[in-house]
Amino acid sequence: MMSGEGNKTKPPGTRPSLFLERQSYRRHRLTDAARILPFLGAALLALPLLWPDPSGGDAAVPLSSAMYYIFLCWGALILAGFVFGLAARRMAAREGSDTGAE
């Protein structure tokens, strides 16, 4: 949506600076997301440490629930990594074609 807006309102060539700025802003945002990802993953995987301890007499979390939780987190991380990988590749390709055209 944002890119559509950017392309529609700005005639090509007249104000290239804004376009580039937007590009690099997006790239920075993308790398920021990529950097946050492992910390998010570590936090999610540290969460089970807060679960009740059966040796303390509390009702323990059944292993099946634990498995669901961990594999879901795992899958979510992979998905996020996949999306980021795609975005990074698109970005790289676009930049490559940009520099190639210039």
**Residue ranges binding another protein (CB under 8 A):** 31, 34-35, 37-39, 41-42, 45-46, 48-49, 51, 53-55, 60-67, 70-71, 74-75, 77-82, 84-85, 88-89, 92
Alpha-carbon span 38 to 7, nearest angstrom? 34
- Show the DSSP H helices in 10-53 as ranges: 16-46
**Which residues does 80 contact at the CB level (< 8 Å), separation at least 6?**
37, 40
Task: Report, in Å, the least distance between residue 3 CB and another protein.
Answer: 21
Task: Report, in Å, the least distance between residue 39 CB and another protein.
Answer: 8
Task: Report, in Å, the least distance between residue 71 CB and another protein.
Answer: 7
